[in-house]
Structure 1
Amino acid sequence: MTKKEIRQQQIEKLSNFAETPEKDAEDQILLKKIMNLQWLNECQTVGITSSLTYEVDTSGLIAQLWDMGKDVYLARANDNAERSQDFIYYSYMTKLTKSKFGVAEVSEPDAQINNDLDLIIVPGLAFALDSHQRLGFGGGYYDRFLAKHPQSKTVALVNSKMIFETASWQVEPTDIAIQTIITPNAVLANK
């Protein structure tokens, strides 16, 4: 199967899963697991995306990060040939708009950009447990960003429908492995 076919298959699988109570239960387990990580306390700046309905829900995590006094930054894809992205300061007062990808992004043109983050919570459609490789949405935004900012810790919240024992997709030299994968059953740090 091609990456495109696996992406389509995963979006369908995750969309169906999103309509079940199991998805909500797993989202709560993943939220609890990340909140219990000791090193989360040491991070002040956190990059995250506003989740789509079929992704692990990040709204509760964002609220808890604010409650902890963390500085939260939402990813925003730049409309340029390089397919770059930035992380934009996000508070409960921030105005959001939907991007061309359907993701809520900060719409304020003067909002603060911070790309030197302590932690980035990386989204994806599929994650390989053995190599920590991820299958993203096909734009390469995160891989490009992470290649330029290797100092940031990376973590992914991975529900049961996103788990692959090994990558069944073509892993490119430009693909960046995720340091820590959190599943409903485990917290897996990359060796």
Structure 2
Amino acid sequence: MRRASPGRTSSTRTSGAALQEENNAPMMAIFGGVFGVLLVFLVVVNLYSDAAQRERLERGSEDGLYRIERLDGGSGYVVITFPDELRIIETGLSINPAEVCTAGSPFVDYARRVYQDNGNQLVFFMLEGSVPTMALARECLRQMWPQQVLAIGWVIADNELLKSVALNDIPDYIQGYAEPSP
């Protein structure tokens, strides 16, 4: 009969595997703990970034993300006039020209917010055929503040301007003026 060598018994093999499993158990516990901490950290970071993003969006709509800074320190807030609607850029709301000056109109509320600070103004980007819409909005402003002088700006946005903006083909003399010199 053959005798098994003392170092190679089957119980030694199982105890070796059990010993290896026992050695891996603390490492798995550490890995699981670190994974749990990282998961909680990820949730906290996501909640914080979500709250920060909401705050930036709310502040952006309040501060006027689409405003045009003026040299005198004031700001111009952009409104686009179409032949059959007026659109407030910041909010994306469009208003029928007949409802521009009605009580509770988004344009009236927006104008009050813009003109509450001295030096601010509305800048109308007028598309082809939209002069009557702009005139209605201007008259509305005059009715809201009959004794006050209001600054109103306008830009005639013809097809050539719109094409150059869409194609990013702004003339060099305008681009050079807009870009700050070093």
Return the index of the structure with the highest Cα Rg. 2
Structure ranking higher in strand proportion: 1
Global fold match (TM > 0.5): no
| Short-chain TM bin | under 0.3
Name the TM-score, length of structure 2 as normaliser.
0.26
